[in-house]
Every structure is written in structure tokens, then in C-alpha cells.
Chain A
């Protein structure tokens, strides 16, 4: 009887232990499952996908560049988009800028404008990352040069998946026989429109050479295209706009119709909901407004440097608070 009692007590203890430990064991399993779920892994790129608007930007701006006063120089764009496991989707182009350092044999982008441009584009989607670079060659070299490789092979280490996308633009193509202005792909990694050609490559960290990267189109925007019309303003105020973004939380930008053409507005929120300082940049003009519940009231900017103007206005508003 005692034996039966001991056995019964033993089973009771075991049952009790299982019932107590089960939830914890379940949580441990759950933790293991979460821990075991791998972080996003990037495999070598198999293709790059461009939105149709990005494709238009590249061909249209390359054609405009060639027709312009600096058409003999190299030019280019930084590509922003989403890096997926084995492919990348390009959603925005940041131009080299008028303040680029360029000649017939090189181009160094104006990063100041591109930094501000990236901040503005990423207001819409914080997942956007730097994917790579497009640049042009004045001759018919349709492949990145050895000097390109030296810089790119070190640069790609900081990109997602330690791999970058590189395209070379050349103006040595032939229009198709039918003469229509429709882009065509003579090879999987090449896109042509009229005489213009972009050849696409990928380069990973530690790789000895670029490899041809198949390219395709999908419908979608170039999220940075509206900014291209105000890029001169972005470059002119770039350092000060960047400083303002780093120092003030919640600064937002918008491209709006101005008196002469597109203008850039910068909105710095105040503590009160719906209140803020709006600065409108257009051509060489800067106008400031205090916005209260959506209604703008013109203010004297006191300074033609945007960051100083904003801080002087903030100081004036602070002085009005009892």
C-alpha cells in the first residue's frame, strides 16, 4: 500500500512538474524558433529590376546631358532601392549634380546634394538603400574600367550583401531597323534606346571582376524624379539642409509649384501640433512662414542662410512664449 502511495505521489509530482514546466518549455521552444529564424541573407544578385520611370530618367537625362554644354564629360547617378535576397529593385536616381567634378575621363559626384536627396526620398520609405552607381563613358567602352574596379571593389563592402550594381552608359548604339523610339535589349544585361546604351554589371566584395547582370523593367516610379527639377536648390543649400536634418527632428521636404517653376519647401515642426516653420526655396529667393493650424503667416527670414534663418525664427518664437 505504501508502495502504491509512493508510486502515486511520484506520478503526481511528475505530472505537476510537466504542467509547471510545459509553458516554460514552450517559451524556450518559441525563443529557439525566433533565434533560429535567420536574419535576411543576401545571396549573389541574379538580376536587377528597374521601374519604368527609373529607365526613363536614365535615358532622358543622359540624352539631355549629351545635348548640353558639358556633354563631353562623364556623368552618372546613384541608385536607391530595395535589396531583396537575390535581386534588387531600383526605385530612385540621385543625379551627379551640377557641382560634380567631371571631365572626359572621370566623374566624382557631388555627394552633398545626394545626401540631402536621399533624406528627402527616404521620407517615403525608410527601407531604401544604396544599390549602386550608373556612370557614362564618352567612348565605346561598355564595361567598367580597371580604375573603376579599384574604387568599386572597396566601396561594395559597405553595401547590403557586400555587392553593388554598376551600369555603364555609352552613346555608341544603333537604332533598330524599324526606327521607333522603343527601348530594346540586344542582350540580357544591355538596354538600348536610340544611340544610347546602358550595360549592367554586379560586383561583390572579393570578386576579381564585374559580371554581367540581367536587367528587367517593371511598372513603378522614380521616387527622386520630382527632386531633379529642384536639384540646383538642393545643391546650393545642401550642407545647411543636411545640418538642419541632423539637428532637428521631423524636418520634412516637399516639391511644390512656385512662381517660376518647381520650388522646394522645408518644414520644421514646432512643439504645438500643426505648428511649424515653413521655408520656401525658389531660384535665389527664400521665404519663411509660420504655420499655425495649417495657415501660413509670412515672416522675415533675417538671414539668407536657411539654417541660420530657421534658428533665428525659433529664437524669436521662443522669446514670445511667456
Chain B
């Protein structure tokens, strides 16, 4: 297990996730291997974003 303190970005993401869970019933995702926080159901994966960017068609 990695017991280091959260950095600023991780802390901000966790607080956002907890607020989303409390206020809007949004799911908090957990890593099945070590139960660590891995984001929320509303997050968009890097793969989805990058695939869309790489495939932006030529515009005329």
C-alpha cells in the first residue's frame, strides 16, 4: 500500500468526488486491487479524449 499524503491535484479530485457523491449521488470508483480512489463515474478517460483529438477531421 502507498500511504503517502495526497498531493494537491489528488486532494482536489477526491474532494470533488466526495462532493459529487454527497450532493448528486455520483459514484466514487475504487481500485479493486488496493481499494484506493480511482475517480468518479463522470470522469472521462484520457483514451476517449485523445482518440477524439487525434481524429479531428480536416476542416474546409
Q: Nearest-CB distance from A136 to chain B (Å)?
A: 9
How many A-B residue pairs have C-beta atoms within 8 angstroms? Tell me.
88
- Residues of B whose CB lies within 8 Å of any CB of A are 4-5, 7, 9, 12-13, 16, 25, 39-40, 42-44, 46, 48-60
Q: Is residue A128 contacting chain B, with contact meaning CB distance below 8 A?
A: yes
B53, A115: Cβ atoms closer than 8 Å: yes
Show 17 A/B contacts (Cβ-Cβ < 8 Å), sorted by A: A78-B56, A108-B58, A108-B59, A111-B54, A115-B50, A126-B13, A127-B42, A127-B44, A129-B52, A130-B48, A133-B59, A148-B57, A148-B59, A154-B57, A155-B52, A155-B56, A159-B52
A122, B49: Cβ atoms closer than 8 Å: yes
- B-side contacts of A144, CB under 8 Å: 59
Report Cα–Cα, A14/B58, bound state, in Å. 71
With a 10 A CB-CB cut-off, give which of A109, A130, A147 has the most chain B CB atoms.
A130
- A-side contacts of B58, CB under 8 Å: 101, 106-108, 151
B4, A118: Cβ atoms closer than 8 Å: no
Q: A40-B42, A148-B60 are in contact. List 10 more A-B contacts (CB 8 A).
A: A115-B50, A115-B53, A122-B49, A124-B9, A129-B44, A129-B49, A130-B52, A144-B59, A148-B59, A150-B57
- B-side contacts of A150, CB under 8 Å: 57
B43, A126: Cβ atoms closer than 8 Å: yes
B49, A130: Cβ atoms closer than 8 Å: yes
Closest 5 CB pairs of A and B: A151-B57, A147-B60, A130-B52, A126-B43, A135-B59
A129, B48: Cβ atoms closer than 8 Å: yes
Q: Is residue A257 contacting chain B, with contact meaning CB distance below 8 A?
A: no
Q: Is residue A140 contacting chain B, with contact meaning CB distance below 8 A?
A: no
Report Cα–Cα, A118/B56, bound state, in Å. 14
Report Cα–Cα, A252/B54, bound state, in Å. 22
